[in-house]
Amino acid sequence: MITPSPKTQQARQARAWQHALREAFKQPADLLAYLGLDPATPHLEAAVLGNFPLRVPRGFAARMRKGDAADPLLLQVWPAGAEALNVDGFGLDAVGDKLKLKPGGIVHKYQHRVLVMATGACGVHCRYCFRRHFPYSDALAGRDHWREALAQIAADGSISEVILSGGDPLSLSDDKLGELLDGLDGIAHVRRLRIHTRQPIVLPERVDDGLLALLQRTRLRTAMVLHANHANELDGSVAMALGALREAGVSLLNQAVLLRRVNDDVDTLQALSERLFDCGVLPYYLHLLDRVAGSAHFEVDEDTARRLMRELSTRLPGYLLPRLARETAGQPAKEIVAW
User: The sheet that has 323-326: what strands, in order across it?
Assistant: 101-102, 106-107, 113-119, 161-166, 192-196, 221-226, 251-257, 282-287, 323-326, 335-336
Q: Is 126 known as a binding-site position?
A: yes
Q: Distance between CA 242 and CA 227 in Å, rounded?
A: 12
Burial (0-12, 13-18, 19+ Cβ within 10 Å), 123:
buried
Paired with 282 in beta bridges are 253
User: CA of 111: how far to CAs of 16, 157, 204, 250, in Å?
Assistant: 39, 11, 33, 23
Cβ distance 175 to 213 under 8 Å?
no
Q: Is 279 known as a binding-site position?
A: no
Helix (H, G, I), strand (E, B) or coil at 35: helix
Question: DSSP of 216-239, one letter per residue?
Answer: HH--SEEEEEE---SGGG--HHHH
Paired with 3 in beta bridges are none
276: Cα within 13 Å, side-chain hemisphere: 29
As annotated, the binding site for [4Fe-4S] cluster includes 122, 126, 129
Annotated binding site: 122, 126, 129
